[in-house]
């Protein structure tokens, strides 16, 4: 697959770093999967991170990658959850032991090239197809107030039951985040962060700073990470930003904030955690080079 148009435009602003990430992310499960899996198994390092999350049931950190979903801790080697080696793309935690995701079936599996929307209710051990199997590849997913928002095929798609979808705005974006109240949707674009107040039907113009990924765990705690790995926070829904710290490892691959203090970020060389609102970070797990 080729990089999405949004990524290509973002490159014009910030250079080639995001393009390489997008191309790796879009690679699917049929090429390079075994090599990446072998690297993870042999070195204890993850590869190609596409999503991060924390299960509210037990506080475990989950990492969605090109070769499956892993749990990570500071004290141990990343551990594959279940036996799926699928390429997990869009990924978000929606409840205790409950995650939704998208991506590509692993080479040799019985899953399609585009798995559509899948869901687990046992913390990633098993996954069930919910909709759009064989059709859709969501690269970003987020939820609020029982509604799931996704970015797929250059458009915003919305579902309240994980089965039927309403297509809304068509635009070039890289990531999305919905407010905890569900009344505002943000996307990252080449021009900056663009906002929608009508559920993703229409968006205003993008406003700087340019961010690569967003996460919005509380109304007054919105986080963004730019293409160089600089983390910022906003207390007013993205109108103004305050820079916190640069996450080690530079170019980002994923960002998830659990609350105002607990922030997870994946960069080129590792998965990092902050427990002080993004002021400082420590490594949870390395990434294979």
* pLDDT at res. 279: 96
Q: Which helix (H) or strand (E) holds 34?
A: helix 33-43
Helix/strand number for the chain, H first, E second:
3, 23
Residue 109 CA: distances (Å) to CA of 26, 79, 91, 125: 18, 20, 20, 16
Query: Where residue 21 falls among pLDDT bands split at 50, 70, 90?
Result: very low
Region 225-233: mean pLDDT is 98
Q: What is the mean pLDDT of the chain?
A: 88
Question: Tell me: the pLDDT tens digits for 80-91?
Answer: 999 889 999 999
DSSP 287: B
Contact in structure between 247 and 265 (CB atoms under 8 Å) = yes
| Cα–Cα dist 68/96, whole Å | 20
Residue 108 CA: distances (Å) to CA of 29, 48, 64, 68: 9, 20, 20, 14
Whether pLDDT at 287 is above 60: yes
Q: Which two tokens stand for residue 60?
A: 């475990």
Whether pLDDT at 63 is above 50: yes
Query: Where residue 19 falls among pLDDT bands split at 50, 70, 90?
Result: very low
pTM of the model: 0.88
Query: Where residue 6 falls among pLDDT bands split at 50, 70, 90?
Result: very low
Question: Tell me: the pLDDT tens digits for 131-172?
Answer: 999 999 999 999 999 999 999 999 999 999 999 999 999 999
């Amino acid at each position: 697959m080729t990089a999405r148009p949004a990524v290509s435009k973002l490159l014009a602003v910030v250079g080639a770093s995001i393009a390489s990430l997008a191309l790796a992310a879009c690679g699917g499960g049929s090429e390079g999967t075994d090599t990446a899996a072998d690297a993870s198994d042999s070195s204890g390092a993850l590869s190609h991170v596409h999503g991060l999350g924390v299960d509210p049931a037990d506080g475990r950190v989950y990492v969605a990658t090109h070769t499956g979903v892993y749990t990570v801790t500071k004290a141990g080697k990343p551990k594959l959850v279940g036996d799926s080696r699928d390429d997990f793309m869009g990924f978000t935690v929606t409840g205790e032991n409950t995650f939704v995701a998208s991506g590509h079936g692993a080479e040799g599996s019985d899953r399609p090239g585009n798995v559509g929307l899948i869901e687990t209710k046992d913390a990633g051990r098993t996954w069930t197809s919910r909709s759009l199997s064989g059709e859709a590849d969501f690269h970003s997913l987020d939820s609020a107030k029982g509604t799931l928002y996704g970015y797929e095929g250059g458009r915003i798609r919305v579902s309240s039951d994980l089965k039927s979808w309403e297509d809304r705005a068509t635009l070039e974006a890289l990531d999305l985040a919905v407010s905890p109240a569900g009344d505002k949707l943000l996307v990252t674009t080449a021009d900056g962060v663009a906002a929608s107040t009508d559920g993703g039907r229409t968006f205003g113009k993008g406003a700087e700073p340019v961010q690569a990924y967003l996460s919005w765990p509380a109304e007054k705690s919105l986080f963004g990470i730019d293409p160089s790995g600089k983390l910022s926070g906003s207390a007013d829904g993205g109108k103004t930003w305050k820079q916190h710290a640069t996450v080690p490892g530079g170019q980002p691959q994923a960002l998830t904030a659990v609350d105002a203090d607990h922030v997870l970020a994946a960069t080129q060389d590792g998965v990092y955690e902050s427990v002080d609102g993004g002021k400082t970070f420590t490594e949870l797990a390395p990434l294979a080079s």
